Amino acid sequence: MKKIIAVTLFVILLILDLILFGVGWLKVVFSTIQDWAPTFNEILQALAIIIGGWWTYHKFVLGRLSYPQANIEHDISSIILDEHLVLVKVQIIISNIGNTLLTINECDTRIMQLKPVPASLSGLMEKNSTDKQMYLEKSAEIAWDVIVEHIQYYNIPDYPVFEVEPNESDELIFDFVIDKNIETVLIYSHIYNITKKKPIGWVKNTVHNINKEG
């Protein structure tokens, strides 16, 4: 009811102004609005650009800086132990290239046989080139046989702490013993990113020819 009364009074006052002073003042008001309209429009556009830029920077730049960032490398060596066994030493160098503390809770390292070609893949090697290409297009990668795998946990009860400060590096070292008859292996390492809900992180693959000189 109060709103209706207020609107009614406004209309009455507007009519009285028109009777007493005519429409000249309305023309002045509309003219002023038209003169200032381009300026207001430019101001609004500038504000929109500023707000959009701030939102983008906050979401995609500052937001990403709060997540850990890492780079991992391999240093692989091998040595013959005896007439049957070879030691493969895998050194994983982890560099924290982000601005936050890098906390590692799981590292999965596998050694896969490339040469001689595993018996499970011998059929693929015998296929013609067209069949091989079709296989690779469907699977993206060949499922090489895993000879040995080691999963190391950190930063949980009864396990060691492993953290890397920003702009610093640290390393993990694992020893694997494999058959001497193996000539070439693929070393796969996966450092899991604990800030992600999905099991993703940083991966490194390295092909290594086994040292046969002892």
Give the model's pLDDT for residue 36: 57
Give the model's pLDDT for residue 48: 73
pLDDT in tens, 81-114: 998 999 999 999 999 998 889 988 899 999 999 9
Query: Of 32, 175, 193, which is closest to residue 106 (Cα–Cα)?
Result: 193
Give the model's pLDDT for residue 165: 93
**Cβ neighbourhood burial of 68 (10 Å; 0-12, 13-18, 19+):** buried
Tell me the C-alpha distance between 143 and 118, whole Å: 10
pLDDT in tens, 32-78: 555 655 665 666 677 777 776 666 655 555 544 667 889 999 999 99
- The residue-averaged pLDDT of 189-209 equals 88
More confident residue, 212 or 204: 204
Query: Of 173, 169, 204, which is closest to residue 186 (Cα–Cα)?
Result: 204
Tell me the C-alpha distance between 78 and 80, whole Å: 7
Tell me the C-alpha distance between 202 and 93, whole Å: 12
| Superfamily grouping for domain 70-209 | Immunoglobulins (2.60.40.10)
Give ranges for CATH 2.60.40.10 in the chain.
Answer: 70-209
